[in-house]
Amino acid sequence: MSAPLLTSPVVPASWLAEHLDHPDVVVLDASWFLPGTERNAMAEWQQKRIPGARFFDFDKQIADPDSHLPHMLPSPALFAEEVGKLGITPDSIVVVYDTHGIFSSPRVWWMFRAMGHQSVAVLDGGLPVWEQAGYALHTCPPEYAEPAEYLAVFQPQWVIDADSLHARLSDTSTQVFDARPAARFYALQPEPRAGIRSGHMPNAKSLPFSQLLENGQFLPKEHLMKRFDALCEPEQHLIFSCGSGVTACILALGAELSGRKKLTVYDGSWSEWGSNNKYPVEV
């Protein structure tokens, strides 16, 4: 059985349904809820999931244990160790979904790309679209994967730290996009995390992640192209930020779908920038 080809970083439910039983295809539930939400993503996965889906915990387990910031990208060694526990190999074709539709799954797509894994895609519309299409669900206790050997090869162009970003804010070859709601970007609404300043980075542009989506799915490519063409030049290097590095990855994936190539996520995002007075803030 030949391996299916991923021709896009986003796949429809019909593609996954067709290839779900292929031995190289690994499905990951990357659901995550904002702090204070009375929902448990792992418990929901145990109760209902796409058949064979494994739970990818980027918030607590597959994250930098030494960072004071939430769910920061782990070291390549830790990523490889934890991904191997999920039965994923460098040859796996990884499809990621979440229970919102498109929310936290692009974060895991970005993590795999930052670790050198090319064959990874997000399920467009996530679990809601899968259910609406009438495809099978598992509600029995999940089976855990046989561990595998995984090799992560870090790709530094996919991630940037605060000091490096600070140095590039006035560089016209770079454009920073902020995925937070516009009210938070313009300091009209306080930040939900305590001790975080309101406002935005100098020269950043507001692009709330919801503007790239409709009914929990990405807009068509031509619409995404128009969104980015209206806000930046074709050759600019795009850097994406948000509250804690999750929805910034929606912008990164949307930009890739639109055909943009120079894409980087600021992992610390506003949780880091807004809490440190050495970084400038505008309102």
* Alpha-carbon Rg for the chain in angstroms: 18
Residue of 140, 232, 242, 249 marked catalytic: 242
Q: What is the rounded CA–CA span in Å between residue 78 and residue 85?
A: 11
Q: What is the rounded CA–CA span in Å between residue 120 and residue 263?
A: 16
Is the CB of residue 26 less than 8 Å from the CB of residue 18? no
The neighbour count for residue 197, using CB atoms within 10 Å, is: 17
Task: Return the DSSP state at 187.
Answer: T
242 classed as catalytic:
yes
Q: What is the rounded CA–CA span in Å between residue 252 and residue 21?
A: 29
Chain-centroid distance of CA 73 in Å reads 11
Contact partners, residue 123, CB within 8 Å, separation at least 6:
10, 11, 12, 13, 16, 95, 96, 97, 105, 129, 130
Length of the chain: 283
Is the CB of residue 258 less than 8 Å from the CB of residue 226? no
Catalytic residues: 242
